[in-house]
Amino acid sequence: MNSNFTLAVHSLTLLSLMPDRMSSSDAIAESACVHPVRIRKVLSLLRKNGIITSKEGTGGGFIFAIDPGEVNLWEIYKITAEGSLQPKCPDVNEQCLVGANMKNVLLSIFSDAETHLGEFLSKYSIEDVVANVKQT
Amino acid sequence: MNSNFTLAVHSLTLLSLMPDRMSSSDAIAESACVHPVRIRKVLSLLRKNGIITSKEGTGGGFIFAIDPGEVNLWEIYKITAEGSLQPKCPDVNEQCLVGANMKNVLLSIFSDAETHLGEFLSKYSIEDVVANVKQT
DNA sequence: AATACTGTAACATTTAAGATTACATTTAGT
DNA sequence: ACTAAATGTAATCTTAAATGTTACAGTATT
């Protein structure tokens, strides 16, 4: 899985610790040690999905649009990393019985597996993550 | 996930269709459309884990060491792709409460998730995959 | 001895991820 | 109205990971 998921969770965790003011991509980027543009890209996805809002201009930034307890890790996974459980199936020799069908068989199995993963990740909200981070 | 898992399953499926003679890396590579050296590398892992045996020299190649009904997808996943569910956690600013603990929190959650994935993938043997491939 | 394989290391190439630059746009403050 | 501080996004560059290729030593079969 690429790091967009981690970046999204990291950013949301920071935002939930700053519930009453906007955080800039620069500030978030500094905590996550990545380029601010990447933060803006990832948070742009979250914004389009209604999880956060953003404001341009002086004093602008990002802030939660809903209760952090209402957002779970599965939603974030779907937005930032869907399909990354799926194994890569390179092109194969279609002449061959195995080649011709392997992709479909694995796709079907891992599609089910991702559904299970979803049930598991749905149990963790951003609030839970915040609690865990604080507790350590 | 990289394609080693898919290549391993592909190869084992071919081998289970050829239970009474050895298959060469060249033959498998042709079906999977990859370089024979890659097949040898992946199958080398399976050999070290006792799933197949190999023989060098004329007439050599690869063959199942055990019953294809005894090998499940989780074992193959562990050998070829373990940890690939884990989201990437780039280095972070340790000065920051969130940065310092995010990695551990996510690691713990996804470690559990991988256990669940294991239970799911354990239900599918290579024999099941072969049956599915044939059926299509 | 010749041929056909595996095993593995070294190197080259390609692809994907991520960083950086650039700039248009928006907003707030003076 | 002007300036400064922010997002939005496209384009490009760089780096890292995946994959392909070559090379060759070792082994078994004929």
Name the closest residue on chain B to residue A83, using Cα atoms: B1
User: Averaged over A90-103, what is the pLDDT?
Assistant: 85
Among A106, A56, A46, A55, which Cα is nearest to B3's? A106
- Show the tokens assigned to A96: 């061959």
Q: CB pairs below 8 Å between A and B: how many?
A: 144
Confidence check: pLDDT of A34 > 80: yes
In this complex, the nucleotide whose C1' atom is nearest to the CA atom of residue A39 is: D7
Residue A46: is it exposed, middle or buried by C-beta count within 10 angstroms (0-12/13-18/19+)? Answer: buried
- What's the CA–C1' distance between A4 and D3, in Å? 35
Q: What is the pLDDT of residues A47-64, one digit of tens each?
A: 999 999 999 999 999 999
Confidence check: pLDDT of A122 > 80: yes
Confidence check: pLDDT of A6 > 90: yes
User: What pLDDT was estimated at residue B117?
Assistant: 95
Angle at B48 between CA B118 and CA B30, to 5 degrees: 85
In this complex, the nucleotide whose C1' atom is nearest to the CA atom of residue B48 is: C7
User: What pLDDT was estimated at residue B128?
Assistant: 97
User: What pLDDT was estimated at residue B19?
Assistant: 96
- What's the CA–C1' distance between B69 and D12, in Å? 51
Reported as half-sphere exposure (CB side, CA atoms, 13 A), residue A49 has a value of 15
- What's the CA–C1' distance between B21 and D29, in Å? 15
Residue B60 contacts strand C, CB under 7 A: yes
Percent of chain A with pLDDT over 70: 100
User: What pLDDT was estimated at residue B135?
Assistant: 86
Q: How far is A57 from chain B (nearest CA, A)?
A: 26
Q: How far is A58 from chain B (nearest CA, A)?
A: 25
H/E run at residue B27: helix B25-32
Using alpha carbons, list the distances in angstroms from residue B72 to B10, B66, B75, B78.
Answer: 13, 12, 6, 10
User: What pLDDT was estimated at residue A126?
Assistant: 98
Mean confidence (pLDDT) of chain A = 94
Mean confidence (pLDDT) of chain B = 94
Per the listing, tokens 């209760």 go with A67
Among B49, B18, B88, B97, which Cα is nearest to A98's? B18
User: What pLDDT was estimated at residue B42?
Assistant: 98
Reported as half-sphere exposure (CB side, CA atoms, 13 A), residue B107 has a value of 8
A14 neighbourhood in chain B, CB within 8 Å: 98
- What's the CA–C1' distance between A56 and C25, in Å? 9
User: What pLDDT was estimated at residue B92?
Assistant: 80
Confidence check: pLDDT of A1 > 80: no
User: Averaged over A3-31, what is the pLDDT?
Assistant: 96
Q: What is the pLDDT of residues B26-80, one digit of tens each?
A: 999 999 999 999 999 999 999 999 999 999 999 999 999 999 999 999 999 999 9
User: What pLDDT was estimated at residue B95?
Assistant: 83
Name the closest residue on chain B to residue A123, using Cα atoms: B109
Q: Which residues of B66-83 are buried (b: 16+ CB within 10 A; e: fewer)?
A: eebeebbbbbbbebbbee
User: Phi and psi dihedrals of B109, rounded to 5?
Assistant: -65, -45
User: What pLDDT was estimated at residue B10?
Assistant: 97
User: What pLDDT was estimated at residue A2?
Assistant: 80
Q: Which residues of A63-83 are buried (b: 16+ CB within 10 A; e: fewer)?
A: bbbeebeebbbbbbbebbbee
Q: Are A92 and B10 in contact (CB under 8 A)?
A: yes
Confidence check: pLDDT of B109 > 90: yes
Report the CATH architecture of B4-135.
Answer: Orthogonal Bundle (1.10)
Alpha-carbon torsion angle A133, A66, A26, A79, nearest 10: 80
Residue A40 contacts strand C, CB under 7 A: no
Query: Across the interface, do A102 and B9 touch by the CB < 8 Å criterion?
Result: yes
Confidence check: pLDDT of A136 > 80: no
- Protein-covered nucleotides of chain D (CB closer than 7 Å) are 4-11, 17-23, 26-30
